[in-house]
Amino acid sequence: MSRLNSTLIMLCTLSVLSFSGHAELQDQGLNSILQIIDKAIEDISSSETSGDNPEADAEAQDNATTTIVNLSKTLGSLSYSRLQCGEADVLSEFTQRVQKMPEQGRDAMRDAFQEGFDKSKEDTQLLSTDECARLTQARIRTEAVDETNVVEENQKKETEQLLEKEPELPPEEPRLRHLRIAELSGQLAYKRKICDGEEVFTRDYNAFIKSVPEDYLQEVKDMYWKGYKHGRRMNPDLNSDTC
């Protein structure tokens, strides 16, 4: 019922806006209204088949039916502006929900929809061709944004699934890791030597070499100086003025 109250509060707030803005904002909430109706219909079906607590089931059915009837009235009011602009999508969506509703609640849904439709018809002036065109364009923009969000969400889920399925790589061999770091450190060292001076360069080099096991120390040194020469080739014009 709290979701229903929030929806009704939103719709009351919209009533103070101009008709064009009012209709556009209502359209943005149309999908939410239909989802609430779908959920309420599911709740009725579940309570009819549970049989665990007849009193609680009856209360759940009453609450769900009240929600459906109230929102059916809202759908009726939304349908009027659309029908006069040649759009019957709200009516079609409502008809689908009526077919899902248990037989005993269908008449109440239809009556509420008709009440909302008639009320909107009384309170709303006929729209011009230009107004209909503006509303239609607004609805297209809103639906396009919704579709984009759905595509992005699906892509995100697919990426997460692929990441979950990706096999774990074995840990990198320490020797290879030291060789890789040595080459990169050597590249950076050339710029450090030119810009920060020989003393800083020597200090950093000694600190790095001390972290390397004796078993492959010479290989790491060779790779370091290979990277150093690469860094020099990449920065042929580097000097203290250009650092």
**b vs e for 99-110, b when ≥16 Cβ sit within 10 Å of the residue's Cβ?**
eebeeebeeebb
**pLDDT classification of 219: cutoffs 50, 70, 90:** very high
pLDDT at position 225: 93
pLDDT in tens, 202-214: 888 888 888 888 9
Question: Is the predicted pLDDT of residue 188 greater than 90, yes or no?
Answer: no
Would you say residue 198 has pLDDT above 60?
yes
Task: Measure Cα distances from 86 to 136, 142, 153 in Å.
Answer: 10, 18, 32
Contact assessment for residue 56 and residue 99, using Cβ atoms and an 8 Å cutoff: no
Tokens of 120: 């909107």
pLDDT score of 154: 58
Contacts of 204 (CB under 8 A, 6+ apart): 185, 189, 192
* Alpha carbon distance 40, 185 (integer Å): 64
Give the CA-trace dihedral at 191, 194, 195, 198, to 10 degrees: 110
Residue 171 banded pLDDT, cuts 50, 70, 90? low
Give the predicted TM-score (pTM) of the model: 0.45
pLDDT band at 9 (very low <50, low <70, confident <90, very high): very low
In this predicted structure, what is the pLDDT of residue 182?
A: 87
For residue 223, what pLDDT is reported?
A: 92
Give 224's contacts (C-beta < 8 A, 6+ positions apart).
Answer: 182, 183, 185, 186, 189, 205, 208, 209
For 173, the 3-state DSSP assignment is: coil
The pLDDT score that the predictor gives to residue 15 is: 37
Which tens digits make up the pLDDT trace of 139-153?
555 444 444 444 456
Cβ atoms of 79 and 42 within 8 Å: the answer is no
State pLDDT tens for residues 12-29.
433 333 333 344 434 557
What is the token pair recorded at 79?
């349908």
Q: Count of residues for the chain?
A: 243
Least confident of 102-106, 157-161, 183-187, 199-203: 157-161
pLDDT, averaged across the chain: 74
Percent of the chain with pLDDT over 70: 67
Give tens-digit pLDDT for 100-152: 998 888 999 999 999 988 888 887 766 566 666 666 565 555 444 444 444 45
Rounded Cα distance, 164 and 166, in Å: 6
Given a cut of 80, whether residue 98 has pLDDT beyond it is yes
Asked whether the beta carbons of 40 and 64 are under 8 A apart, the reply is: yes
Task: Give the other-Cβ count within 10 Å of 14's Cβ.
Answer: 16
User: Residue 197 pLDDT more than 80?
Assistant: yes
Confidence of residue 234 (pLDDT cuts 50, 70, 90): confident
Q: Which amino acid is at 170?
A: P
Tell me the domain boundaries of the chain.
Answer: 2-148, 174-234
Any long-range contacts for 23-32 (C-beta under 8 Å, 24+ apart)?
A: 23/78, 23/81, 23/135, 23/138, 24/135, 24/138, 24/139, 24/142, 26/78, 27/78, 27/135, 27/138, 27/139, 27/142, 28/142, 30/78, 30/90, 31/146, 32/7
